[in-house]
Amino acid sequence: MKAFTDLIFTTDFFYSILRVTTPLLFASMAAVVSDVAGVPNIALEGIMLIAAFAGMFFSYLFESALAGLFFALFFAVLAAGVLAFFTLYYKTNIILGGIAINSLASGGTIFFLYLVAHDKGTSVSLASKVLPNVNIPFIESIPIIGPVISGHNVLTYLAVASVVFTYLLLKRTALGWHIRAVGEKPDAADSVGISVTKTQAIALIISGVMCGFGGAFMSMGYVSWFSRDMVSGRGWIALAAEAMGRQHPLGTAATSLLFGVADALSNAVATLGWPSDLVKTIPYCATLLGLAIFSIRAYKRAKAA
């Protein structure tokens, strides 16, 4: 137990919480924007995976992390665009469309990984780049807080900004109002000449951009390579966080942080020699448990009303 507490109460551990929450924040904000627009994007997982691969590959190809980021975003938007095209124009069921994109991402990235790296596991043989870490002046020198808050990957700070962005977008901007209107009552939006399809497409693209950042972080920040199915369920955890945050950006961010803690914990205790097969399931167990508790409470509340 002592070993456990020693592990938890360190600045390293708290630092790692922010680090592992980064992709969850991006993905859960992507979930918020698309879900509020009435097009629940369940392809978060796949889009992040595609972005992670593109980021790795193009940063290797152009020997530039920035190029990697650009192409990660480009391919994420492309994938979100394909999803939008099929669900909005061809009326593919949004859930099935999401399943298709996820399957495409999972197999497609391995397919291309093999073509470029002759390996179906990881891309370590390719010298890809990572995005820089940022030390925040003043804050970095504050004891305890400094080492936790400063020195993160640039995308970690962007993830926090994405929460503020999502909040302001939905609350204060015209586009945000349109997104909300389209999600709550599409006919109302249509009756004033707001194109439902176009607005939902924009929402999906925005969620694609956020997944792009999340995916880029995975292969160019969290680690410095791509490995098969490396997003490993984060897209789904983000969906659970969004449901529990009741579509609200701040509530969703808080829930994501909670799941981030579970993730950080599973990474930390792995060093204690606990059975790794089981330790790896901690984030999923936490999500399942969280979703179960949330649903049961919501059910009881609805029944009591």
Partner 1 sequence: MEYILEMKNISKIYGNGIAANRDVNFNLKKGEIHALVGENGAGKSTLMKILFGMEPPSQGEIILKGEPVRFSSSKDAIAHGIGMVHQHFMLVESFTAAQNIILGMEPKKGAFVNEAEAVRFIKDLSKKYNLEVDAEAVTRTLPVGVKQKIEILKALARGAEILILDEPTAVLAPQETDILFEELIHLKEQGHTIVFISHKIPEIKKISDRITVMRSSRTVGCYETKDVSEKEISNLIMGCEMDTSIEKSSPKPGDIKIRVSGVSYTDKNKVKVLKDVSFGVRSGMIFGIAGVQGNGQVELVDLMTKRRSLREGDILLGGKSVKDMSVRDIRKMQFGYIPEDRIEQGMAAHESIGENIISNRYDTKEFCKNGLLDYKEIKKFAEENIREYEIRCSGSDQNVGMLSGGNMQKVVVGRECSHEPEILIAEQPTRGVDIGAAYIIHKKIMELRDEGCAVLLVSADLNEALKLSDVLAVMYDGEIVAYFDNTEGLNEEKLGLYMLGLDRHDKETVRRAENE
Partner 2 sequence: MSRERSFTIIRTAVSMAVAVLVAFLIIVLVSDQPLESIKIFLLRPFSTKRYIGNIVETAVPLIFSGLAMAIMFKANLFNLGAEGIYFIAGITGSMVAIWPKLPPVVFPFLCILVGAATGMAVMVIPGVLKAKYGASELVTSLMMNNILLGVGLYILNNVMRDPDVASLVSYKYRTNSLLANIVPGTRIHVGFIIAIVFAVLVYIFLFKSKWGYEIRMVGDNGTFASYSGINVAKVILTVHLAAGAIAGMGGIIECIGMHKRFEWSALPGYGFDGAMIAMLAGNNPIGVIGAAFFVSWLRVGADLVNRSSDIPTEMISILQSIIILLISAERFLHKYKQSWIEKEVK
Q: Which is nearer to partner 1, 84 or 170 (CB)?
A: 170
Cα–Cα distance measured from residue 259 to residue 261, given in angstroms and rounded to the nearest whole number: 5
HSE-up of residue 241 (Cα within 13 Å, Cβ side):
35
Q: Tell me if 304 contacts partner 2 by CB under 8 A.
A: no
Residue 271 binding partner per list partner 1, partner 2, none, with a CB distance cut-off of 5 to 8 Å that depends on partner kind: none
Rg (CA), the chain: 20
Q: Give yes or no for residue 137 binding partner 2 (CB under 8 A).
A: no
191 interacts with, out of partner 1, partner 2, none, CB within 5 to 8 A per kind = partner 1
121 binding partner 2? (CB under 8 A): no
1 binds, among partner 1, partner 2, none (CB under 5 to 8 A by kind): none
CA 206 to chain centre: 13
Contact yes or no for 74/216 (Cβ under 8 A) = no
> Under the criterion CB under 8 A, does residue 195 sit at the interface with partner 2?
no
Q: CA 258: distance to chain centroid?
A: 14
**What number of chain residues touch partner 1 (CB under 8 A)?**
22
Nearest CA among 206, 263, 264, 257 for reference residue 76: 206
For residue 300, CA distances in Å to 252, 294, 304, 305 come to: 21, 10, 6, 9
Q: Which amino acid is at 279?
A: V
Residues that bind partner 2 (CB under 8 A): 42, 82, 86, 89-93, 95-97, 99-104, 106-108, 110-111, 114-115, 120, 232-233, 236-237, 239-240, 243, 275, 277-278, 280-281, 284-285, 287-288, 291-292, 294-296, 298-299
Residues that bind partner 1 (CB under 8 A): 168, 172-174, 177-178, 180-181, 184-185, 187-195, 302-303, 305
